[in-house]
Amino acid sequence: MSDANPNPSPDNPFGAPPPPPPISDAPDKDACMWAMLCHLASLSGYLIPFGNLVGPLVVWLIKRDAHPFIDDQGKESLNFQITMTVLLVVALATLCVGIGIVLAPIVALYGIVMAIIAAVKANNGERYRYPATIRLIT
C-alpha cells in the first residue's frame, strides 16, 4: 500500500483544491446568476481572442462587491482561465512536434466542459472549485 498523502501541502499546485472559505450568508438568485455569468463569460474566448480572460474579469470587476459569492466564483473562474491560457499556449507551442495536434483540442474541450459544470453549480448556489487550477488571484 502506498504512503501517498491524500491531502497534499498547500505548496503543491497539483494537489486537491483547497476547500472554499465559508460564506456567512447564502447567495440569493441574483448572486447565483452573476456567479454563473462569471463562469459562462469565459466561453467568449472561443469567439474573441483572450475573451476567456476578459469576459470573467469584466463580470467580476463589476459585481465583486455585490456579494461574497460573486467575488469568490469570479476569482475561481479567472484562476481557471489563466491556467487554461497557459495550457493552451503550451499545447500550441507543441504543434510543430505533433503533440499539440492531440493536446490542443483536449485542453479546449476540457475548458468548455469544466466552465459549464462550474456555471451549473454556481447557478445552484454551490461554491465550485476547479480541479488542477493554479490559484494566482486570492
Tell whether 103 is covered by a domain: yes
Q: What is the pLDDT of residues 122-138, one digit of tens each?
A: 999 999 999 989 999 88
pLDDT of residue 23: 55
Residue among 114, 122, 127 nearest 32 (CA)? 122
Confidence of residue 13 (pLDDT cuts 50, 70, 90): low
Tell whether 24 is covered by a domain: no
Q: What percent of the chain has pLDDT over 90?
A: 67
Domain hosting 56: range is 29-123
Q: What percent of the chain has pLDDT over 70?
A: 82
Tell whether 51 is covered by a domain: yes
C-alpha cell at 89: 499556449
Tell whether 85 is covered by a domain: yes
Rounded distance between C-alpha atoms, residue 67 and residue 33, angstroms: 11
pLDDT of residue 15: 64
C-alpha cell at 68: 461574497
- Total domains in the chain come to 1
Alpha-carbon torsion (107, 112, 117, 118), positive or negative? positive
Tell whether 137 is covered by a domain: no
- What is the full DSSP assignment across 58-121? HHHHHHTTT-HHHHHHHHHHHHHHHHHHHHHHHHHHTGGGTHHHHHHHHHHHHHHHHHHHHHHH
Residue among 77, 53, 49, 68 nearest 133 (CA)? 77
pLDDT of residue 12: 61
Mean pLDDT of the chain: 86
Mean pLDDT along residues 8-27:
64
Tell whether 106 is covered by a domain: yes
Tell whether 128 is covered by a domain: no
Rounded distance between C-alpha atoms, residue 10 and residue 19, angstroms: 11
Tell whether 131 is covered by a domain: no
Q: What is the pLDDT of residues 70-105, one digit of tens each?
A: 999 999 999 999 999 999 999 989 988 888 899 999
Mean pLDDT along residues 102-112:
93
